Chains A and B, each alone.
Chain A
Amino acid sequence: MKRFSFAKTMAVAGALSLAASLVPTSALSQANAIKIGIDLPVSGADASDGIPTRNGAVLAIEEAKGASGFSFVADDLDDAVQGKHNPAQGAQNVKTFIADPAVLAIVGPFNSNVAKAEIPLTNDAGLVQISPSNTNPGLTKGPDAAKLRTNPVNNYFRVCTTDDKQGGAGAQFARKLGYSKVFIIDDNETYGKGLADVFEADFKADGGTVLGHEHITSGQQDFKALLTKAASLGPDFIYFGGTTSSGGGLVRKQMEDAGMKNVAYFGGDGISDAEFITVTGDMANNTYYTVAAPETSKLASAATFVADYKKRFGSDPGPYSANAYAIAQIEIAAINKAITADGGKMPTRAQVLANVAATKDFPTPIGKVGFDANGDTTNGILSLYAIKDGKSEFINQISFKD
């Protein structure tokens, strides 16, 4: 190593900064590396959500250039246990990030119940955290949000729209398709139940009839009894609040045996993953879902991102890849701003947090992003999809500007 670096010193000197040629390379990368913590479920049934999302963040971190000789690395942890997102594991992961002074910002988590376990910890530590996909409104607004925070300075942000809008968009869309009778099932989690409750209220407000609303339990395998009950009420469609891994796939699959082969299925972004189509097979068709992010293939601003993503990972981006990319961009910009303002020193978490909170009209692949006082995005876009012939098709998008 030493001989090699001596031999190459002259050639490499031009490319390295003055500091780098004086300090051994290993010590340099130690001292000047800033870590972006990524906490997403990347194994098990959630992997088809988590991995494309993580890839989005990783791409932004790899492309990033640090100010004043700093560099960025991804510190990537998995919050899935036994194949499913797990709030306790998420909390453990953010404790690891908090304990590492090189971590200045976090991307994640993916699931709202994991966020509930993490926000109290990161809030206390003043460590900025931005989620690509937490849609539960209670994470940022109202008494639920207050309960999660001990520190008055908000540290939690998100770039996706919330379920009060996602549920409403789902309800509107279902009415537009001419459906009037729904049976609602949710997974009793923070995200799933929250979304289903909003959908129920909005669907009624839009003139629809709710025949029933039931909650399933974690780890449940058999939904035939529940679906037989639903079928006996004659719904036009079933609305599912939850994720593929928490029962969204199995419920759809078992509708066939409960005599509801031709009944439509609706859900939120929880069933937007590729896993849903794998698990449900033929029954995947006639399913509709909303995603709290724009469809990247339709956005001019995302064209470069989509091309770079395909080149780097050899696959199409997932529904939340661009969101994660945008988050990492926002965090990196905030960190670089702090470094420059401070004259090239390693910034504090408080400085990074203040810069993230001040983000306004920041250009990203998903459009110009900014945060309101609660930490919610000011750029709310919802996309609607349908599954036909085993493939997801983009149908429409709705924009909510606050």
Chain B
Amino acid sequence: MDVFFQQLINGLSLGGIYALIALGYTMVYGIIELINFAHGDIYTLGTFVSLAVLTGLGVSGELHGWPLLGVLVLSIFGAMLACGIAGVVIERLAYRRLRNAPRLAPLITAIGVSFILENIMQLWQGPSPVPFPSVIPNPSFQIGGVQIATKQILVVALAVVMMVGLQFFVYNTRLGKAMRATAQDRDAAQLMGININTTIAATFLIGSALAGAAGFVSGVYYGTTWFFNGFSAGLKAFTAAVLGGIGNLAGAMLGGFLIGVIEAMTAQYISDQWTNVVVFSVLVLVLIFRPSGLLGESLPEKV
């Protein structure tokens, strides 16, 4: 039974990273119905930027107390800021002009942007895996026979905090209200005096900043990264967003945790090589019975 709980912890921490990425996917999809394939690469960018901040500060090992807190805040903030700006710039340059084009055009553009980002990062950090310093002291807590590492708590806590904060933001602020209005009916929102361009740019800013935070966390959690990291993580996060109901924030989170746990349990009780098969079978089954995902609302068809 201990192994079961241990795997649950493993699955939840993996799922926390998926959930953080999935939040950005789901926000962008919710507002302009674009599957932003570049989102996974923004996540990798987040890891690299926080690595650059750590290197710039001369950090290469564990820190404690105030220096640790300062370094953490700086590198998370740096990653979120850089990724947020990257998201806004990408939206402005690559997606805005295509907002009213056929659906396929921005989708292909998104794939193109993803390749561009990957290659920029390959030029910047090289094509090989790059080690990430372990800044956080990592004592484990023993509960029964289950070991919980500090890093794992950090991942899950950050995912939950970000999701709750985002939920609050979207439902309780003016900008959040504008986002929801734009998502519901772009033209009507514009008629009501909402600046669509600013609202969509803000969505990209927040979604990409979350990916940046996820990037930092994954660097700390795995202790290594490389330029192509975002591809498979992005794909899984996208699956998580669809599973939970794309466009739904709590759904993205639920989907992320669910996929993480399914992966861990499959590795334990079936076989590691079947994880993707099981994950995608669950996705197919869920979509057969709930086409809009676990928490997705059945919206009127907009296409």
Contacts and interface: CB of A to CB of B under 8 A. Distances in A.
B3 A214 contact: no
B139 to A, nearest CB: 12
Contact of B129 (A220, A229, A254, A279): A279
B7 A254 contact: no
Q: Which 4 A-B pairs have the closest CB atoms?
A: A225-B267, A225-B264, A44-B127, A215-B273
Given A47-B127, A275-B128, A222 B14 contact: yes
A344 B276 CA distance: 59
Contacts of B226: 45, 83
B6 A45 contact: no
A263 interface: no
A83 B10 contact: no
A214 B269 CA distance: 12
Interface residues of B, number: 38
Q: Report which residue of A45, A83, A219, A221 has the largest number of chain B beta carbons within 10 angstroms of its beta carbon.
A: A221
Given A224-B14, A225-B10, A250-B222, A45 B129 contact: yes
A262 interface: no
B232 interface: yes
Interface string A42-61: 01110110000000000000
A188 B276 CA distance: 14
A223 B275 CA distance: 11
A224 B228 CA distance: 20
Interface of chain A, helix or strand or loop or mixed? helix
A82 B231 CA distance: 11
B10 A217 contact: no
A229 B228 CA distance: 27
Contacts of A281: 131, 223
Contacts of B272: 214-217, 223, 225-226, 229
A291 B223 CA distance: 27
Contacts, number: 98
B228 A82 contact: yes
B43 to A, nearest CB: 12
Given A47-B128, A214-B271, A219-B232, 8 more contacts: A215-B273, A216-B272, A217-B272, A224-B14, A225-B263, A253-B222, A278-B131, A281-B131
Contacts of B268: 225, 228-229
Interface in A140-176: none
Interface of B: 2-3, 6-7, 10-11, 13-14, 118, 122, 127-129, 131, 147, 149, 151, 222-224, 226-229, 231-233, 263-268, 271-273, 275-276
Contacts of B275: 217, 225
A225 B275 CA distance: 10
Q: How large is the interface on A (under 10, 10 to 19, 20 to 34, 35 or more residues)?
A: 20 to 34
Contacts of A219: 231-232
Interface of chain B, helix or strand or loop or mixed? helix
A24 interface: no
12 contacts: A44-B128, A45-B127, A83-B128, A217-B272, A225-B10, A232-B3, A250-B222, A250-B224, A253-B222, A253-B223, A253-B224, A281-B131
Contact of B267 (A44, A229, A259): A229
Contacts of B265: 225
A224 B128 contact: no
B228 to A, nearest CB: 5
A221 B127 contact: no
A44 B264 CA distance: 29
A137 interface: no
A83 B122 contact: yes
Nearest to A259: B147
B228 A216 contact: no
Given A215-B271, A229-B3, A275 B223 contact: no
Contacts of A216: 272-273
Nearest to B223: A253
B129 A249 contact: yes
Contacts of B127: 43-45, 47, 83
Contacts of B233: 221
B159 to A, nearest CB: 15
A281 B222 CA distance: 12
Q: Report which residue of B13, B227, B228 has the largest number of chain A beta carbons within 10 angstroms of its beta carbon.
A: B228
Q: Report which residue of B7, B10, B222, B272 has the largest number of chain A beta carbons within 10 angstroms of its beta carbon.
A: B272
